[in-house]
Structure 1
Amino acid sequence: MKKMRLFILALVVIFGVQLTALPAQAHASSATTPKALRGTWFEYRGSGKFNVIKITPHRVSYNGRSYTPSKKADRKLQVNKWGSWYLFNKSKSPSKDLGQYKTTKKLINGSYKKVLVKYHGIGTYHVFPSHKYEHRYSYKVLD
């Protein structure tokens, strides 16, 4: 019986040491937007109208709604990184979540232009060029 207790105690000590030695996975949250995403971005809605996203170091504005670190509740800006995507206001509620963003290049009018891509929903990608083009570049992967 003593040997069994000693064996269990040794296992507990070994597992305890291993658990403390493992690096903790940190999901850093910040209120500073990445430089690559900053600027004013436009998505054509049709009939001469545009969705506008303006990103500054500490503010994200989407169609006039502003999100900053000093705001409260769902308008308080939080920035998380997930792979190559940045999440603004990650939330379990889809209405409060601003979606995932990254920049890439897209062929527009015969040359590659830098665009902001917003992923929000299943298979829906909204493409925001940095200039107003009266053409919709957004797409869906799953229909």
Structure 2
Amino acid sequence: MQGGAIMKKLRLLVLAALIVFGISLSMNPVEAQASSSTTTPKALRGTWYEYKGDKKFNVIKITTHSFTANGKTYTPSKSGYRKLQVSKWGSWYSFNKTSSDSKDLGQYKTKKKLIGGSYKNVLVKYKGVGTYHVFPTNKYYRNYSYSVLD
């Protein structure tokens, strides 16, 4: 009888060890996730336009591994503040978050906005206190940006 009880305890111990091992494997981050810090989200990719006035536009172009704004391109192969880093905070994405206001690119997300009588997908950029810049995918000669403090 004693041998049977020892075998039962040994089986329970092995089962418990396997469960703990399985849980630890599921909690460890997958190596592929580390590369996502230089990959832009699919929803943000494309060319986006914000009307500046006088028939001129601010243009943002986002590809799988690059972000271009104001003529400056950020990619994983660049160095310093131009090296592309993507991070997520809630529903917003940050590109190259930095403590320098002049080099901070802001936070971005996409949403639907009523333009010309129908809802269009737009890129919204948040930078500064309550200021939202709206970038549609087409060139509209109207600025849809807004401030919540107005």
Q: Same fold (TM over 0.5)?
A: yes
Equivalent of residue 71 in structure 2, options 64, 69, 76: 64
Structure 2 Cα separation of the partners of residues 74 and 129 of structure 1: 27
Name the amino acid aligned to 2:92: W
- Show CA shifts across 1:110-134 (max 9, x none): 0000000000011000000000000
Between Structure 1 and Structure 2, whose CA radius of gyration is higher? 2
Name the amino acid aligned to 2:119: Y
Equivalent residue, structure 1, for 2:17: none
Equivalent of residue 85 in structure 2, options 63, 78, 84: 78
- Show CA shifts across 1:30-79 (max 9, x none): 00000000000000000000000000000000021100011111111100
Structure 2 Cα separation of the partners of residues 119 and 51 of structure 1: 15
Equivalent of residue 122 in structure 2, options 109, 115, 128: 115
Q: How many residues align?
A: 119
TM-score where L is the length of structure 2 = 0.75
SS of 1:30's partner is helix
Which 5+ residue runs of structure 1 have no aligned equivalent? 1-22
Structure 1 ranges of 4+ moved more than 6 A: none
Structure 2 Cα separation of the partners of residues 94 and 105 of structure 1: 28
Equivalent of residue 101 in structure 1, options 102, 108, 111: 108
Q: Does 1:47 align with 2:44?
A: no
Which 5+ residue runs of structure 2 have no aligned equivalent? 1-26, 28-33
- CA RMSD in angstroms, aligned pairs only: 1.7
Higher helix fraction (1 or 2): 2
Equivalent residue, structure 2, for 1:14: none
